[in-house]
Structure 1
Amino acid sequence: MSMTEAQTTTRKQALGSPLDRADGRLKIQGLATYAIEKSLENMAYAVVVQSTIPHGRIRSMNIERARQSPGILAVYNHHSGLIIHPAKTFGQGGAAAQAFLPLQDDKVLWNGQHIALVVAETLEQATEAAALIETEYEQQAAIVHPDNPDARPETVDALTIEWGDAVPALAQAEVQIGGVYTTPREYNSPIEPHGCIAHWQDGSLTLWEPSQWVGGARQVVSEWMAIDREKVRVISPYVGGGFGCKGGIQPHSALACVAARELKRPVKLALTRPQTFTAFGGRPRTHQQLALGASRDGTLQSIVHDSWNETALNDVHKEPCNAVTPLMYASPNFLSHHKLIHLNTVNPSWMRAPGENPSAFALEVAMDELAWALKMDPLALRLKNYAEQDPQAKIPWSSRQLREAYQQGADAFGWSKRPLEPRSLREGRQLIGWGMASGTYPVRRTPGEAQIVLYADGRLEVQSSGVDIGTGTYTILAQTAADVLLVAPESITVLLGDTLLPRAPVAGGSQLANLLTGAVHKTALALRDMLITLAVSTEKSPLWQQSPAALALADGFLWLSDKPNLRVSFSELLRLSGNDKLIAHQDTFATTASEDDRNKADSTSSMMVPPTEGGVSAHSWSAIFVEVAVDEDFGTVRVKRMVGAFDSGRIYNPKLTESQWIGGMVMGIGQALLEEGAIDDRDGRITNANLADYLVAVNADIPELTTIDVGKPDYLATVLGGKAVGELGIVGVAAAISNAVWHATGKRIRDLPITQDKLL
């Protein structure tokens, strides 16, 4: 094979190619070692005990029977003196998911709060002893439901958005529609539950933790333990799903850390599946009152939007339901407030597309209602109100292929054949409905670093502390380096998920792929320059004193462009120059960035750049088209087919991108038809805290899903032209399904999930 042929073959495998996941074979063979599977000598096993009341104090706790059980090493509660120091939360510019610190006092703030920890020689011994603990409480009145008169909404001024004069404009509009749209608690429920292994040695701590953000976890652990962050190492090689709930380290990990320090031996703590429903929160309940005003021709005149989400009694999680409403459509008048309602619940947290997801549900169902009030095609109404620039920021889009998404999605679906009237389509006893909705997700950006090491034997290794949460980071980073160095991606090893590696921010907000490909691309270019410089400056090199511009490289060799036989391999060049390895290290920080800036980007949320930075508004876009069948007798809803057209900018790996889009669509089906956290209003207990009763979509629920890429490289959004992928797929799906159900039945469902009782 000639060098030109090698270049061509390699390029077919590099960035933009649909390569299989590099870690896929390891996972299907069971060879990928997850954090909690780490084997350490002298391991102890911890079990968490949780409260059974929603609010009050612990009057007494009988732990003697547990202490006397076989194999017990320690039983800790609020009397044990385990000191855990406060850590900054997301809202404070930190990385902790909750402000709550377990076992620090006798207060109980929600049902399922950590109140004791049992550590034993075996998991079975710890589990048995935990069941022997008896707790008496002094109960206090709890605010479990947002309808409680004592639940007072707290306005978040920063989330108030206003332009024009929305209320009078709404009153004067020729056509007005409005309603209340609600979503229930929804839980991330990844296949891999939360758990960790903490190992304390000589004043330093190593934590094996399934994490979307090892740098953030390290920072929080250092704050909890009051030790320097350099004395904390967090390792997360693989993550078995997270969808946001592993974005911030949770309080159970603090318990493992302090127990390991007390006992001077490694401690493994794994939450049970029921405990994952109360040890941390998923998406909170949301409530939106939304009104649209339009002229008779369908032109929007006003949007008035008032919303709230539930949050913890002494903590804060914002699920901004006005994330999409000010962006999607052009309206001269707009007013939106978002509030928080503090309840006796664990603090909610990120779940795929937090804010954008519920926001799009309300807006896109309301737009469907407006289309019907105008007797107008829902797609035509959206095109009528297409926003040519960001309506809120009043700046141009970096790119917006939403028209193309509408057109190509509609064509693939056959939308032009949709009858306007509901209940017009039928297959026997099945009522057929077609619905559609729009979606969007912002392009968030945080700077980071990457390193590439070329070893003397020719091995190439890409290094970053960024993680692969199942999205394909291992694969696209190998492809990125291969794209520059013109070697096969399979020949490149990628190391991720370790705080010893170059700094990277959270794998959340759909930002990590764009960040790390940019950093790795820059680093690979630097290594390429280093190799060329070495080749022409090493006296023993066959390319000594040649012009650097005359050199080419591919497939592990450098050669003279007009004399391909005058060449040297990477490994031979290192031997000739006396180097055992070459290391290239680059970053995407501003040249003026300090070391403190770099640490902040790695360990806090304060360095994330908003989508409107730089004079343009950067977002991904989608159009979702759905067909449902509703059984006329039983009210059961089945999704028959779905088409999603997506603008995510440049696609780094079509196979992985399609997988992410489909994953979001599947999760959207679960949200629309199945998922609902059931809370007992008497005591705040989650009554379906297991995967038998908390229903998620399974294979039998999922029909043919078609994805269409309409994006183009957007170099105003990111260095390599990509935009958000992972969270875009779910946005708008529930609304499209709800709209399809209305088209099938004539019944408008504004409260998720869409269940039989709401249709019959």
Structure 2
Amino acid sequence: MTPLDMPMKHGDAGDGASIGQRLSRHDGKLKITGSADYALERQFEHAAYAVLVPATIGAGRVVSVDTAAALAAGAILVLTPEDDLGLAQATTFTGQRPEGAFLPLPHEIRFDGQSVALVVAESLEAATEAARRIKVTYEAAPVTASLVQTPEDAGTVGEQFNVAWGDAQAAYADAPVKIEADYHTPREYHAAMEPHGLIAKWDGDRLTVWQPSQWVHAMARNYSDWFGIPMEDVRVVSPYVGGGFGSKGFNYGWEALVPAAARRLGRPVKLALSRPQNFNLYGGRASTRQTLKLGATKDGMLQSILLTGASETSTYGVWPEQVGAATPLMYGTPNYRGQQRIVQVNTVTPGALRGPGKAPSAFGIESAMDELAYAVGVDPLEIRLRNQPDHDRMSNKPWSTRRLREALTEGAAAFGWDKRPMAPRSMRDGHQLIGWGVATGTFPVIRNYGEAEIRVTAEGRVEVVSGATDIGQGTYTVLAQTAADAFGVPVDEVSVRLGDSSLPGSPVAGGSKLAGVMTGAVHKAATAAREELIGLALTHPDSPFHGIEANTLELKGGRLTPPRADAPNVTVAELLRAIGRDGLTVRRDTLPEDMQSPEERKRAWTTMTTAQGPTVGDYSQHSWCAHFAEVRVDEDFGTVRVSRIVSAFDCGLLYNPKLVESQWQGGIIMGIGMALFEEGLVDARNGRVVNNNLGDYLVPTNADVPEIQVISVGIPDTNASLLGGKGVGEVGIVGVAPAIANAVFHATGKRVRDLPITLEKLI
């Protein structure tokens, strides 16, 4: 039995009520005992090892690459910009297929650290030494290192992000109370423990890739497109992922080099990025800036919100960090206008990092609301309660469920907010200034389609099979719970197999949608398998139930029972033996009837074009949260420690509260990092990331994390998903940084609008 096929182990988990139980993780024991099968830990005979050579300039061209010394040092293959790899462009996640050749090692240099060569040798040590001996001649060009080097009017306006209603400018001009402030967030990086990388192996014209992935089907399509082979001849395997946070949802160009090298050498090739390359070769959260203008009445009722913002992107790709993603949703104002610019700099293209767009957006609006509260002398909690919107003004649709008011009031009660004095610097403990802050957050419900297979074994066990991935959020566990409930067996009798592109289709594990999508698909497949089994029991001539004149049977606890107490009562395994079956397999998907063609199915599993946003349908659907933070600031040294956090969430039905609370707490911890620690430092001369390691790029450690209390105020929302759950993974980080910043203001009287909050900004 492999780790993929191992059953759930949860003690006395009951029958028919697994959803909603606080069950431990399916993969927990595997991970702590070292049995979990991570992609890069695979061992192959005759495998070769690859190392990427980084560019040492921030912009310009590669003139030549001298490989002689590397080959003399033991390199068995060196790929450079001069090599024609015969690759084609791959389909983008938005479904477009660009024309022309794909060049993973272009002559043009767009950012410092860009790959200029791939060196392969018999060992990692030999490949590292050979890569060090590569001599590259460049023609350098001027560098724009980061967003902070660009003027306010730089870049182009992203028309798709313009949002407006009413006359915000006129309302702001007429408002009795005005707030205007600039807010800035720096680059942030995923800093996952597991590095990016892959192992590629060819068997004839068939390619297998083992790599940490949040979306194995889309990656299989990319390799198929790059190498011009059928997608059925590509297999991407990723049963476990050691941290992704958005970075492992897509392929990066340098990944094409490894299968290319493996094909040339006729042997497996492995590449694992170095720690600095995990900062340079794929993008984290882009740096942002935003100016917010709030116009309000003297009692703090909003009349107008004006937002102008910008985020950086690369010179060769566009990834906007949407500073207006949360702003128009949080508060009721009759007038709003938001605009964002996209600014090109010499960096790798940014990407999705937990709570993309919403996290920096919330930092701006939630800090500004705190400033408004002090301008009008209204408690920061009260001003939020006064300005809650009754519907989504962007879509003019009612909220599906929005229990943010309950999150604010219940979170405040648990925190003890009513004991908070309004004045800054009014709470202290010796040399420590104490501050309390509040902020709110949101993340949209994103829906999509999924596919799952239910296999019933001869022993009566149930196996869930899907290409969906578990990136740490608990996919193994919640899918087992779903199947157990739908099929009528104890959760201990359910096994789950995931993370393989040869298995049934799934969307990306990102955007907090996978649980909602895949529980729906598993529920449908398990229900169909249950009905098929009952049908066989009633109609098969060798069944113990044949001829009992029952039109249904109950399947509970792994046993089939008719309505009459004196009729047979058998296990699933006994029934299968009686009718001569060695098992049962049922596959179902949640695609509509008009999307069942092979082309449509491929599009659903490999692009984001079938994803549905939060306002598709009759309602506006989002998860919501309210964070209450306590900080202690050393009056002499300016050091800040978060000493307590209480957060309340509306995320609908919780499939497994134990796992959900872990996800919320993880997001909150990342929010602490956003507030106090994380900052990508960039060399202004060449755009090089200076702190490209886990020693200098600071993230919260255990010593930095306080007591965290999380509360659920949600109710099932069946508009959001079949079982009533809403996303939980992303929303936890949104609003944490401004809650801490607002607490720091309450403690010190100093308003920090430029993250992270460091001691030099307080002294």
Cross-structure match for 1:131: 132
| CA gap 1:566/1:115 in 2 versus in 1, 3 angstroms | same
1:149, distance to aligned residue in structure 2 (A): 5.7
Cross-structure match for 1:357: 359
Cross-structure match for 2:556: 554
Partner secondary structure for residue 226 of structure 2 = helix
Equivalent runs, 1:677-688 vs 2, <5 Å = 677-688=680-691
Cα distance in 2 between the residues matched to 1:308 and 1:336: 11
Q: Per-residue displacement from partner, 1:259-301 (whole Å, max 9, x unpaired)?
A: 1122121110100111111110100101111111111121110
Q: Which amino acid aligns with 1:503?
A: G
| CA gap 1:259/1:638 in 2 versus in 1, 3 angstroms | same
Q: Which amino acid aligns with 1:86?
A: Q
Equivalent runs, 1:684-703 vs 2, <5 Å = 684-703=687-706
Cα distance in 2 between the residues matched to 1:367 and 1:299: 11
Q: Per-residue displacement from partner, 1:3-56 (whole Å, max 9, x unpaired)?
A: xxxxx9623761110100011000000000101111222211100101010001
Which residues of structure 2 form unaligned runs of 5+? 1-11
Matched, 1:26 2:27: no
1:83, distance to aligned residue in structure 2 (A): 3.1
Cα distance in 2 between the residues matched to 1:604 and 1:341: 26
Cross-structure match for 1:301: 303
Cα distance in 1 between the residues matched to 2:428 and 2:379: 20
Partner secondary structure for residue 523 of structure 2 = helix
CA RMSD of aligned residues (A): 1.7
Cα distance in 2 between the residues matched to 1:600 and 1:12: 35
Equivalent runs, 1:532-571 vs 2, <5 Å = 532-547=534-549, 549-563=551-565, 566-571=568-573
Q: Per-residue displacement from partner, 1:124-175 (whole Å, max 9, x unpaired)?
A: 1111101111112111111113354689311111111111111111111110
Cross-structure match for 1:3: none
Task: Choose which of 732, 735, 755 in structure 1 pairs with 2:735.
Answer: 732
| CA gap 1:656/1:149 in 2 versus in 1, 3 angstroms | closer
Partner secondary structure for residue 183 of structure 2 = strand
| CA gap 1:619/1:94 in 2 versus in 1, 3 angstroms | farther
Equivalent runs, 1:94-493 vs 2, <5 Å = 103-148=104-149, 152-493=154-495
Q: Which amino acid aligns with 1:749?
A: V
Cross-structure match for 2:601: 598
Cα distance in 2 between the residues matched to 1:147 and 1:688: 17
1:474, distance to aligned residue in structure 2 (A): 0.4
Partner secondary structure for residue 377 of structure 2 = coil
**Residue pair 1:102, 1:114 contacting (<8 A) in 2 also:** no
Cα distance in 1 between the residues matched to 2:759 and 2:566: 71
Cα distance in 2 between the residues matched to 1:101 and 1:442: 34
**Residue pair 2:16, 2:484 contacting (<8 A) in 1 also:** no
1:328, distance to aligned residue in structure 2 (A): 0.9
Cα distance in 2 between the residues matched to 1:78 and 1:16: 54
**Residue pair 2:147, 2:311 contacting (<8 A) in 1 also:** no
Cross-structure match for 1:513: 515
Q: Which amino acid aligns with 1:680?
A: D
1:550, distance to aligned residue in structure 2 (A): 4.3
1:87, distance to aligned residue in structure 2 (A): 2.1
Cross-structure match for 2:501: 499
Cα distance in 2 between the residues matched to 1:262 and 1:661: 46
Equivalent runs, 1:597-636 vs 2, <5 Å = 597-636=600-639
| CA gap 1:648/1:189 in 2 versus in 1, 3 angstroms | same
**Residue pair 2:404, 2:650 contacting (<8 A) in 1 also:** yes
Cα distance in 2 between the residues matched to 1:100 and 1:473: 37
Q: Which amino acid aligns with 1:83?
A: G
Q: Which amino acid aligns with 2:126?
A: Q
**Residue pair 1:95, 1:603 contacting (<8 A) in 2 also:** no
Matched, 1:64 2:97: no
Partner secondary structure for residue 528 of structure 2 = helix
**Residue pair 1:557, 1:568 contacting (<8 A) in 2 also:** yes
- Structure-2-length-normalised TM-score: 0.96
Cα distance in 1 between the residues matched to 2:263 and 2:31: 33
Cα distance in 2 between the residues matched to 1:729 and 1:564: 53
Task: Choose which of 63, 87, 108 in structure 2 pairs with 1:84.
Answer: 87
Task: Choose which of 41, 51, 58 in structure 2 pairs with 1:37.
Answer: 41
Q: Which amino acid aligns with 2:31?
A: K
Task: Choose which of 647, 658, 683 in structure 2 pairs with 1:644.
Answer: 647
Cα distance in 1 between the residues matched to 2:252 and 2:550: 52
Q: Per-residue displacement from partner, 1:365-421 (whole Å, max 9, x unpaired)?
A: 000000000100111111111111112111011101111111110000000111111
Cα distance in 2 between the residues matched to 1:420 and 1:600: 54
Cα distance in 1 between the residues matched to 2:408 and 2:525: 38
Q: Which amino acid aligns with 1:561?
A: P
**Residue pair 1:17, 1:654 contacting (<8 A) in 2 also:** yes
**Residue pair 1:627, 1:640 contacting (<8 A) in 2 also:** yes
Q: Per-residue displacement from partner, 1:459-488 (whole Å, max 9, x unpaired)?
A: 211011000001110011001111122222
**Residue pair 2:19, 2:655 contacting (<8 A) in 1 also:** yes
**Residue pair 2:237, 2:500 contacting (<8 A) in 1 also:** yes
Q: Which amino acid aligns with 1:136?
A: T
1:95, distance to aligned residue in structure 2 (A): 10
1:597, distance to aligned residue in structure 2 (A): 2.1
Matched, 1:54 2:58: yes
Partner secondary structure for residue 658 of structure 2 = helix
